[in-house]
Amino acid sequence: NTRVVLASRPVGEPQPSDFRIETVPAAVPGDGQLLLKTLYLSLDPYMRGRMSAAKSYADPVELGDVMVGGTVCEVVDSKDPAFHPGDVVLSFSGWQTHSVIDAHHVRKLDPHAAPVQSWLGVLGMPGFTGYAGLLRIGAPKPGETVVVAAATGPVGSAVGQIAKIKGARAVGIAGGPEKVAYLREIGFDAAIDHRAPDFAEQLAAACPDGIDVYFENVGGAVWSAVFPLLNDFARVPVCGLVSHYNDTAAPAGPDRLPGFMSDVLKKSLTIRGFIQSEFVQSDFKAFVGDMSGWIHAGRIAYREDIVDGLENAPAAFNGMLAGRNFGKLIIKVAEV
Ligand code: NDP
């Protein structure tokens, strides 16, 4: 078993030395367990949080432990009658080539229903995050303006396209002309490059009626440009703050909190954080039905950025935090 473990806690951007690749003998499955071979590993921004010891909604990865992550795996050996070698399952076995796991922790996938790796992206946790956060908290009405950044990623692209399906206007924000062109191709009403020097002016021009729903994925300069454009009764599902994940200190003053709170009050804003797991019980089944239907009907497009080789996971992960991925970032760990 080859695996990537957390070697040290990063300060700022993770460095190659914060990860260690090691090879250990594969474990042997006991009763009710499976030996899995990883086919695909999902890389997601939340993993930066797990590398830090700061208190969060989930425990950190301990030093020397395997980096966590969602995976699609093939069953190699089964000590559970419901699974057989060759079955493909959705697991959470992390950054490693093999794992032993209790069978009740995995879900069998039908390889004919959808490309198996799509359960890590458009049909999986990130797609669900966009769906649940937008519909449960953003609750866009027809004709309203919905804005989302990191819009070519798996969360943002779901948000924008579902907003369109619900009759809203979708404005996407992304880094660079290629990503912006892609957003227009897949049906966003407007798309803006957050790296443009006149980004805030372009955003204002793209939102002539203000913003009713801002799905917050990034924070930073994007949030600063969005905030003055929020309409009365706007909703802000706070999903992620990826522009801050490598921050080492709070930004220098002035203290903008009083002005911010004053607008929250005067505009009756709803700013509501969420972790997608909150909605799994109530909404995941409906999500899979809706999302599969929309994909088949050509109403949702999705893009995957598949990188070969577990050894390339640390660099690819850093690239994602900096916007060098284009679509859902997935590591292909072994041939299907
Ligand atoms: P993406 O694949 O979209 O990758 C992150 C993207 O963030 C980058 O590609 C980059 O895109 C963008 N980005 C990075 N820095 C900046 C910046 N300074 N300004 C603007 N954009 C920036 O990731 P996901 O779709 O997987 O995740 C999107 C967000 O959703 C993240 O914040 C993540 O933490 C959050 N999330 C939250 C969950 C929850 O339960 N609350 C669950 C899953 C995800 P670009 O090149 O366009 O700038």
Could you report the per-residue pLDDT of 54-65, keeping only the tens digit for each?
A: 888 999 999 999
Percent of the chain with pLDDT over 70: 100
- 3-state DSSP call for residue 255? coil
Q: Average pLDDT of 306-323?
A: 97
| Dist CA 68 CA 65 (whole Å) | 9
Asked: is 125-278 a CATH 3.40.50.720 domain? The reply is yes
Per-residue pLDDT at 336 exceeds 90: no
Label residue 233 by pLDDT band (50, 70, 90): very high
Q: Which residues contact 195 (CB under 8 A, 6 or more apart)?
A: 175, 176
Name the strand (E) or helix (H) holding 145: strand 145-148
pLDDT of amino acid 93: 97
The finding on whether 96 has its CB within 6 A of some atom of ligand 1 is: no
Per-residue pLDDT at 188 exceeds 90: yes
pLDDT of amino acid 315: 97
Pinpoint the residues of the chain covered by CATH 3.40.50.720: 125-278
| Dist CA 231 CA 207 (whole Å) | 11
ipTM of the complex: 0.99
DSSP 66: B
Decide if 287 contacts 127 (C-beta within 8 A). yes
**Which of 46, 147, 155, 280 maximizes ligand 1 atoms within 8 Å of its Cβ, making it the mutation to test the pocket?**
155
Report the CATH fold assignment for 2-121+303-332.
Answer: Quinone Oxidoreductase; Chain A, domain 1 (3.90.180)
Distance 81 CA to ligand 1 centre (A): 40
Q: Which residues contact 257 (CB under 8 A, 6 or more apart)?
A: none
Label residue 82 by pLDDT band (50, 70, 90): very high
Per-residue pLDDT at 14 exceeds 90: yes
| Crossing angle (nearest 10°) for helices 125-132 and 280-296 | 100
pLDDT of amino acid 83: 98
- State pLDDT tens for residues 124-149: 999 999 999 999 999 999 999 999 99
Pinpoint the residues of the chain covered by CATH 3.90.180.10: 2-121+303-332
Label residue 207 by pLDDT band (50, 70, 90): very high
The finding on whether 156 has its CB within 6 A of some atom of ligand 1 is: yes
Q: Residue written as tokens 């071979």?
A: 37
Sign, CA dihedral 129-159-287-106, equals negative
Decide if 272 contacts 216 (C-beta within 8 A). no
